[in-house]
Structure 1
Amino acid sequence: MFHYLKYFLFHVIGLAAAAAMYLGSDWIIYGLIVIFGGYLLLDATLGDDITTPDFQHPGILTAQLWLALPLLSLIVFSFIWQVSPGDLFGLGEFLTGLTGYDVLAAKAEASWVSNTCAVIITGLMIGMVGTITAHELTHRTWDPISMFVGRWLLAFSFDVAFAVEHVYGHHRYVSTTKDPATAPRGRNVYYHVLASTITGNISALKLEAERLRRMGYSTLSVRNSVLRGYVMSAFIVALAFMAGGVEAMLLFIAAGLFGKALLEIVNYMEHYGMVRNPELPVQPRHSWNTNKRFSSWTMFNLTRHSHHHAHGEVPYQDLRPYPEAPTMINGYLATIVVALIPPLWHHLMTPKVLEWDEKYASDEEKVLAAEANRNSGIKGLMEHGQVTTQQA
Structure 2
Amino acid sequence: MNLLHYLKFFFFHVIGLLALVSLMAGGAWISAGLAAVLVIYIVGDAVCGDDTTTPVFKHPKILTVQLWMALPLLSLIVFAAVWSVSPTDIGGIGALVTELTGYDVVAARDATAFGHHIAGVVLTGLLIGIIGTITGHELTHRTWDPISMLVGRWLLAFSFDTVFSIEHVYGHHRYVSTTEDPATAPRGRNVYFHVVASTLKGNLSAWNIEKRRLKRKGTSVWSFNNAMIRGHLMSLLLVALAFVVGGLGGMVYFIACALWGKALLEIVNYMEHYGMVRNPETPVQPRHSWNTNKRISSWTMFNLTRHSHHHAQGEVPYQDLKPFPDAPMMISGYLTTIVVAMIPPLWHQLMTPKVLEWDEKYASDEERLLAAQANARSGIPALMAATRPSSSGTNSTPT
Shared fold per TM-score greater than 0.5? yes
1:145 alignment partner in structure 2: 147
Aligned to 2:396: none
The runs of 5 or more residues in structure 2 that have no matched partner are 393-399
State the AA in 2 paired with 1:59.
Answer: K
Deviation, structure 1 residue 87 = 1.2
- What is the distance in 2 between the residues matched to 1:242 and 1:365? 53
How much does 1:388 deviate?
A: 3.5
- Give 1:390 deviation, angstroms: 12
2:97 is aligned to: 95
Q: CA-to-partner distance for each residue in 1:190-248, whole Å, 9 max, x for gaps? A: 00000000000000000000000001100001110001001000010011111111111
Q: What pairs up with 1:67-146 in 2 under 5 angstroms?
A: 67-146=69-148
Question: Match of 1:282?
Answer: 284
1:356 aligns with 2:349: no
Find the residue that maps to 1:106 and give its secondary structure. helix
Equivalent positions of 1:195-274 (< 5 A) are 195-274=197-276
CA RMSD of aligned residues (A): 1.1
Which residue does the alignment assign to 2:345? Answer: 343
Contact 1:370 1:389 in 2 (8 A): no
Equivalent position amino acid for 1:164 in 2 = I
Question: Which residue in the other structure is 1:178 paired with?
Answer: 180
Amino acid at match of 1:126: I
CA contact (8 A) 1:176 1:182 kept: yes
AA aligned to 2:153 is R
Alpha carbons of structure 1 residues 390 and 138: separation in structure 2 relative to 1, 3 Å:
closer
Contact 1:124 1:258 in 2 (8 A): yes
Distance 1:105 1:236 in 2: 27
**Counterpart contact for 2:292–2:305, Cα < 8 Å:** yes
TM-score (normalizing by structure 2): 0.97
State the Cα deviation string for residues 321-344 of structure 1 (Å, max 9, x = none): 000000000000000000000000
In 1, the alpha carbon distance for the partners of 2:100 and 2:309 equals: 47
Cα distance in 2, alignment partners of residues 130 and 60 from structure 1: 19
Count of residues in Structure 1 that have an aligned counterpart in Structure 2: 390
Using the size of structure 1 for normalisation, the TM-score is 0.98
Which amino acid letter does the alignment assign opposite residue 184 of structure 1? P
Which residue number in structure 1 is paired with residue 397 of structure 2?
Answer: none
Partner of 2:389: 388
Q: 1:95, CA displacement in angstroms?
A: 1.1
Question: Residue deviations 1:256-295, cap 9 Å, x none?
Answer: 0000000000000000000002221000000000000000
Partner of residue 6, structure 2: 4
Residue 21 of structure 1 and its aligned partner are, at CA, apart by 1.0
1:38 paired residue among 37, 40, 52:
40
SS of structure 1 residue aligned to 2:386? helix
**C-alpha separation between the residues in 1 aligned to 2:19 and 2:391?**
55
AA aligned opposite 2:249: E
Give the SS at the match of 2:322.
coil
8 Å Cα contact 2:276/2:289 also seen in 1: yes
Provide the secondary structure at the position in 2 that maps to 1:384.
Answer: coil
TM-fit CA distance, 1:389: 8.6
- Residues 135/390 of structure 1: CA separation in 2 closer, same or farther (3 Å cut): closer
CA distance in 2, matches of 1:389, 1:51: 36
d(CA) in 2 for partners of 1:256, 1:83? 15
